Amino acid sequence: MHVRPAKFFDENGRRLDGRLPDEMRPVDMKVGVLSNADGSAIVSYGKTKVLAAVYGPREPLQKYTVLPDRASLFVRYHMAPFSTEERKSPVPTRREVEISKVLREALEPVVITELFPRTVIEVYVEVLQSDGGTRTASATAASLALADAGIPMRALVAGVAIGKVDNVVVLDLNEPEDNFGEADMPIVAAPDLGLITLFQLNGVMTVEETQKGLDMALKAISELVEKEKQTLRSSIEEVDVE
Ligand code: ADP
Q: What is residue 61's predicted lDDT score, i.e. its pLDDT?
A: 84
Ligand 1 in reach of 222 Cβ (< 6 A): no
pLDDT bin (cut points 50, 70, 90) of residue 183 is very high
pLDDT at 241 over 80: no
pLDDT bin (cut points 50, 70, 90) of residue 240 is low
* Chain mean pLDDT for the chain: 96
Ligand 1 in reach of 235 Cβ (< 6 A): no
132 Cα: distance to centroid of ligand 1 (angstroms): 6
pLDDT at 202 over 90: yes
Ligand 1 in reach of 131 Cβ (< 6 A): yes
Other CB atoms closer than 10 Å to residue 86's CB: what's the count?
Answer: 6
Ligand 1 in reach of 140 Cβ (< 6 A): no
Q: What is the reported pTM?
A: 0.96
Atom number in ligand 1 closest to CA 135: 3
Q: What is residue 3's predicted lDDT score, i.e. its pLDDT?
A: 85
E strands within the chain? 27-31, 39-45, 48-58, 72-79, 120-129, 158-165, 168-171, 183-190, 195-199, 202-203
Mutate to test the pocket of ligand 1, among 17, 44, 84, 131 (most ligand atoms within 8 A of CB): 84
The residue-averaged pLDDT of 26-55 equals 98
81 Cα: distance to centroid of ligand 1 (angstroms): 12
Of 60, 51, 81, 67, the C-alpha closest to 113 is 67
The residue-averaged pLDDT of 10-27 equals 96
Q: What is the Cα–Cα distance from 111 to 115, expressed in whole angstroms?
A: 10
Ligand 1 in reach of 138 Cβ (< 6 A): no
**pLDDT single digits (tens) 63-95:** 877 999 999 999 999 999 999 999 999 999 999
Atom number in ligand 1 closest to CA 161: 4
Q: What is residue 21's predicted lDDT score, i.e. its pLDDT?
A: 98
E strands within 18-173? 27-31, 39-45, 48-58, 72-79, 120-129, 158-165, 168-171
pLDDT at 1 over 60: no
Ligand 1 in reach of 177 Cβ (< 6 A): no
